[in-house]
């Protein structure tokens, strides 16, 4: 086992690195801007890792001499690596798509790097030592400006044949009601995707109209009698319960862990569980829906765990 686990959250605007020790305790956390240009981003990752390794006095595990401190490196990205081509696909940072990111990082860093979808890293973090710890099957969901999800079973990420397992946001809203037509168009090319109903900007738009993207204060507004806020939350909780019921019917996870900005809505944890019974095909549904433990550290922590669960 390496002395340190390095994890990187490769976001659209920032690149964040975290260092966990053997016990899983956070030892260092640092971020730099993401230049948004492919070649420059590879260099930025290289330099960030080199700086951290130097400060730790460690080297990549396969380069270590006896007695040297060692480290491993995992990276979470907003997309996934195609098993067929080795290129990035489905990244909302579109300049990353169709690039051999994992291969180029291996070469630039002269070390083996494990690259995984950022939602999978979130799920892994919460399954390892977060809100989902101790559960065999963890379904981790991120709901923010978009939607993503990851599946962890027995401590291992389930990637799937095409590395798209957990792409819950691009399954259709189930049990659609007449008033929900016409189905909204999604950037993926389909209509009626869950992301187009449940991401944060869609909830804000349902509350305040087109052009609004921030859901801050919606629960307080509803509590104070704001009819628009009450209606938007009612519709959201109903749709979210249907979406969770869909996941429970096909996966039956031991626990559902939520992350992202929308996960801060207390209403989800109070209102959604009682609504599941209508659509889950079991007499009694007891699936816990819980808030994450590690907050915005979860993705980078999950990246750091990648070597431990895939060795």
The answer to whether 120 touches 157, Cβ cutoff 8 Å, is: yes
What pLDDT is attached to residue 60? 82
Helix (H) or strand (E) run with residue 104 in it: helix 101-109
As given in the structure block, the two tokens for residue 211 are 């052009």
**Which residues in the chain come in under a pLDDT of 70?**
309-311
For 267-299, b/e burial (b = at least 16 CB within 10 A) is bbeebbbebbeebbeeeebebebbbbbbeebbb
pTM above 0.85, yes or no: yes
What pLDDT is attached to residue 82? 95
What pLDDT is attached to residue 310? 47
Instruction: Choose among 270, 265, 147: nearest CA to 207.
Output: 265
Helix (H) or strand (E) run with residue 267 in it: helix 266-275
The answer to whether 303 touches 75, Cβ cutoff 8 Å, is: yes
| Strands, sheet with 156-157, edge to edge from the N-terminal-most edge strand | 156-157, 147-153, 137-143, 255-259, 289-291
**How far, in Å, CA of 7 to CA of 121, rounded?**
10
């Amino acid at each position: 086992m390496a002395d340190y686990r390095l994890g990187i959250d490769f976001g659209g605007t920032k690149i964040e690195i975290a260092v966990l020790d053997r016990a899983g305790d956070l030892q260092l956390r640092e971020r730099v801007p993401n230049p948004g240009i492919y070649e420059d981003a590879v260099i930025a990752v290289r330099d960030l890792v080199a700086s951290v390794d130097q400060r730790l006095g460690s080297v990549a595990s396969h380069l270590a001499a006896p007695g040297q401190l060692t480290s491993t490196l995992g990276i979470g990205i907003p997309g996934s690596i195609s098993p067929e081509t080795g290129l990035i696909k489905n990244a909302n940072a579109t300049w990353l798509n169709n690039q051999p990111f994992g291969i180029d990082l291996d070469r630039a860093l002269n070390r083996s790097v494990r690259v995984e979808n950022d939602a999978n890293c979130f799920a892994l973090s919460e399954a390892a030592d977060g809100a989902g710890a101790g559960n065999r099957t963890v379904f981790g969901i991120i709901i923010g400006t978009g939607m993503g999800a990851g599946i962890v079973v027995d401590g291992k990420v389930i990637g799937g044949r095409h590395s798209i397992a957990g792409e819950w946001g691009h399954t259709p809203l189930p049990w659609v009601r007449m008033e929900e037509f016409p189905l909204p168009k999604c950037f993926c090319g389909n209509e009626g995707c869950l992301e187009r109903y449940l991401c944060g900007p869609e909830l804000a738009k349902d509350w305040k109209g087109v052009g609004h993207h921030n859901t801050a204060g919606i629960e307080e507004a509803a509590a104070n009698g704001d009819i628009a806020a009450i209606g938007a939350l009612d519709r959201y909780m109903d749709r979210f319960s249907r979406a969770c019921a869909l996941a429970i019917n096909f996966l039956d996870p031991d626990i559902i862990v939520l992350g992202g900005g929308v996960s801060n809505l207390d209403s989800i944890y109070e209102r959604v569980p009682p609504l599941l019974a209508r659509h889950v095909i079991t007499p009694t549904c007891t699936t816990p829906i819980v808030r994450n433990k590690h907050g915005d550290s979860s993705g980078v922590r999950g990246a750091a765990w990648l070597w431990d669960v895939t060795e």
